[in-house]
Each structure stands twice: as C-alpha cells, then as structure tokens.
A = this chain, B = another copy of it.
Amino acid sequence: MNRCFKLFKPIQSHILFLQNKNLATLVERRNPNYAILTDSDFAFFERLLGKERCVDDTNALESYNTDWLKMCRGNSKLAILPKTTSELSEILKYCHEKNLAVCPQGGNTGLVGGSVPVYDEIVISTKLMNKIINLDNESSILSCQSGCILQNLDEYIREKAGLTMPLDLGAKGSCHIGGNVSTNAGGLRLLRYGSLKGNILGLEVVLSNGEVLNSMNTPVRKDNTGYDLKQLFIGSEGTLGFISGVSILCPQKPKAANLILVACDGNSFKTVIEVFKTARQELNEILSAFEFMDRESMIAVKENSNLENPFDKEISEKCNFYCLAETHSSDEESAIKKIENFYSKLSEKGLGLNGIIAENKSQFKFLWSLRERIAESLTRDGYNYKYDISLPINKMYDLVMDTRKRFKDNNAEKEFRRCIGYGHLGDGNLHLNVTSTTYDDKIFGLLEPFLFEWTKANNGSISAEHGLGLKKRNYIYYS
C-alpha cells in the first residue's frame, strides 16, 4: 500500500534516506499545512483502539518506518492497528477533520518506497485486519479483510475447498492481500490466472473522510450494473482510498505441479523467446509460469545466497540464459507427457543445452529459489538500483544490453558491480537490477532518466507490477 489520499492532500515532505541521497530530490519539505500529532490525538486513538494497538515506542516503530529494502525511512511517531472497518472509518474521519497525514501500510514488502511514511504521517497498519469473511465453495469466491497474508489465504482455501490464490509472489509469506490489490501485484502466476483486474470481484474501501464504499455485497462473478468503480482502486496505491476488504475469485488448486529449468543454447535472447513459444505451444493450458534469468542472475544467487547452479560446469560456462517453466495440471501423467514433448521440441529446434525437471518437493523448492531469491541476493551486494519494466517481449533484453553498453561508453564499468536482467518473460515484465557497493551518483545519473526514456521510446511501461511509490512518482508521464 502507498500513502493515502495524495489527490486530496499532497504530502510534500522530506524523507530520511538511509543510503540514497538522490531520492531526496523527489520529495520537497514537509507540507506545513498538515497538523502535528498532539497528546489529545494520542488520547483519541488510545480511547478508540486501546493502548496496545497504538505503537509509539521508538524501537517498536522502527519496522513501521523502514521499507523492506532498507532504503527509505520515515519518521512516524505513531502506528495504529485497527481491527474493523468501522474503527478504520473512525480513524480516517478523525484524521481528515484534524488534518493529520496518514500512511496505509500492509505487509510492508513494497520495492518502490510506497509502504512507509515519508515524514511523520501516522502509519495505519492492516496487520490486525486479518479475518476471513466468507468462502463460497460453489462460486470459488473468497472474501476477507485486507490485512490477510497471501500465503495464509492460500493455505486456508486449499484446505477448505481445494482452491488456490490467483496470484503468487516471492513475498507471499508476509505481503497482505490489500497491499497486493492496491499495487495491482502481478507475480509469478499472472501468465496463467490473469491480473487482479479480472479476479477482484468486490472491494470495501474507506475514503479519506471515513466514508465506506462497498462492492463486496454482491458476491457474484459477473455484475454489469453501473460503472465498475472498484477498478479505480486496484493499483492506485492507496491514493484514492484505503482498501479494507477484498472479494477475489480463486482457481482450483492443481493436482499436479511440475517445474522445468532449461539452460538455453546460444548467446542471443531470441533463444529465450523461442523456448517460450515452444512452451506455450506444447505446455499450453498447463503452463502456469514462465520466468527467465540471465547468466549474471545465476552467478548472483550463487555468490550471495550460496545457491549452486544445478547444471554441470561445462554447461553453466556456456549458458547465457535460463528459463523456468512451471506447469499446473489436474493429472501428473499427461503433464509429464506434455513436458516430454516440450523437451523433444527444444531438442529438435536446438534451443536447449540441457534441462532439469524437479523430481520431488525439495527440488521443486530449490529450482524456484534460484529465481525467487535473486532480489534478496542482490541486496547483499550493497546498494541495489531496481527497475520493473514492461516491454514487448522481443525488446526486453535489449534494454539490459543497452544499459551495459551505456556504462561501458561512459567509462563506468568499475563503478557498478552487476547489471542483470530477469523476470516474467510470459508477461513481458523485466526486472532490471544494477548493484554497487554503495550508492553512487554517477551510476544513478547514467540510469535515470535514460531507462525511462528508453522504455517510453519502445512503447513500454516504467511500472509493470511494483507500482510508482515514492521512487517513481515523478516519472509517471513516461508511460
């Protein structure tokens, strides 16, 4: 989730960055029109929620004030934890009347500085809004409060009804469904189950004045009565309202899941595209994810997270790109047959150097970790310049190569440590990451606005799934 109600009351304030000087230019000084929290405000919140749900201890506030990447830090003096929509409504109404700035916070797993306060906004956390409201087994519709953790929901609906959540993220163990919706999170399964735009059937949203909008009362799959206003809140990062409840369509949990890692033959990214096309043709309706990692991604997880490249040295030394294809299917036997067809087509076309299929749960987990733990590995390099870009598939890796060329042309090859590309190939979603030991103005200057201009020129989007947050809020017009 992102800071709330930007449209109503722009938060213009500074931010205490841990490392990144340049981001400070993105935010102006604190808007003096916002009130400063007083003892009587504290007293109001304590009366409403009880002392234990009003966090004002400096140490305890640390986690509310700092983002997951530890790059942005706010200076909030109070984090409050409502349990119900009516409490949330009371809180927002009060803040509206008293002109107090607020920052909605879910699992605080965002990567664009969107889920932490910028200055001294009151953090309103959804941590305790974690109740499941209803699970309709016939219609496969789950309704819950916005603070439910994605993985908990997935486990709940699997046990109760053999269903699964239509989205899956590396952060699933801590991200909240409300944050997923407010950033329109994409993740690993979008290829198969589609975006939240199609899967969210209803929302409950509390506006800045405390008014509650609720479209969760009609728990049906189709509703064409009037304008679909809830869509505006999906991906609006908390700027239009605070999502308090979610109604979501959930697919059947597959009976069989398989995972294949392919070491691509050839230096060109065109091979990766051909492997994807072959997967789409041969695995077709059971293809649930198609990810790619470049050579440097694989080296990073080895060096920083001790995850060994599972291929022989001979292959890994030759291989520039890896593809991870996951299948979700209702029976193992026909899935295996399809995977065999996929393999033989790769071999016929000369696309794969080698392939590995996960043979048990731990191998399945290990192969996924090679992709899922890249983000975490990169933070260990020191500083991480992260970009989340949508591009037509055939342009995706050109951007990585052009970025490297730019470093070379500007004699900056020694300043950065890695420049890597990986991501959701099936969705045209590239995660381009540059790392260095510490933050470096020169690297930053070479990256921005170059990357945004390149993306715009190639008809892409500068925010595929991470949102704009604080880091990209001034670049909205590049897409």
Interfacial residues, chain A to chain B (CB-CB below 8 A)? 136, 138-139, 162, 183-184, 186, 190, 194-195, 197-199, 217-229, 231-232, 234-236, 240, 252, 254-255, 273, 276-277, 280-286, 328-331, 333-334, 337-338, 390-394, 427-429, 459-468, 472, 476, 478-479
Contacts and interface: CB of A to CB of B under 8 A. Distances in A.
Given A221-B429, A226-B468, A254-B284, 6 more contacts: A190-B221, A190-B222, A220-B390, A220-B459, A222-B464, A223-B390
A273 B330 CA distance: 20
Given A199-B198, A218-B460, A331-B338, A392 B138 contact: yes
A231 to B, nearest CB: 4
A162 B281 CA distance: 9
A328 B286 CA distance: 11
Contacts of A183: 224
Q: How many copies does the complex hold?
A: 2
Nearest to A112: B224
Contact of A460 (B220, B227, B273, B479): B220
A42 to B, nearest CB: 35
A270 B326 CA distance: 36
30 contacts: A136-B392, A138-B394, A139-B392, A194-B198, A197-B197, A197-B198, A218-B390, A218-B459, A220-B391, A220-B428, A221-B428, A222-B427, A222-B465, A224-B235, A224-B463, A224-B464, A224-B466, A224-B467, A225-B461, A225-B463, A225-B472, A225-B478, A227-B236, A227-B240, A281-B330, A285-B286, A286-B330, A333-B334, A334-B337, A334-B338
A334 B476 CA distance: 47
Contacts of A198: 194-195, 197-199
Scoring A232, A282, A472 by chain B CB atoms within 10 A of each residue's CB, the highest score goes to A232
A48 B138 CA distance: 54
Contacts of A427: 221-222
A328 B392 CA distance: 27
Contacts of A219: 392, 459
A468 B285 contact: no
* Prevailing SS type, chain A contact patch: loop
B218 A461 contact: yes
Given A217-B459, A331-B338, A222 B186 contact: yes
A331 B329 contact: no
A254 B284 CA distance: 8
Nearest to A162: B281
User: Which 6 A-B pairs have CB atoms at the shortest separation, nearest pair first?
Assistant: A198-B198, A334-B334, A284-B330, A231-B231, A225-B479, A220-B390
A334 B283 CA distance: 12
B464 A220 contact: yes
A229 B231 CA distance: 9
A424 to B, nearest CB: 8
A472 B224 CA distance: 11
Contact of A331 (B190, B195, B334, B429): B334
A189 to B, nearest CB: 13
Contact of A330 (B218, B276, B338): B338
Contact of A218 (B225, B227, B479): B479
Contact of A222 (B231, B255, B284, B429): B429
Contacts of A467: 224
Given A194-B199, A282-B330, A284-B330, A224 B394 contact: no
A328 B284 CA distance: 10
Contacts of A190: 221-222
A460 B221 CA distance: 10
B334 A223 contact: no
Contacts of A232: 227-229, 231-232
A376 to B, nearest CB: 22
Contacts of A282: 330
A465 B252 contact: no
Contact of A225 (B197, B252, B393, B468): B468
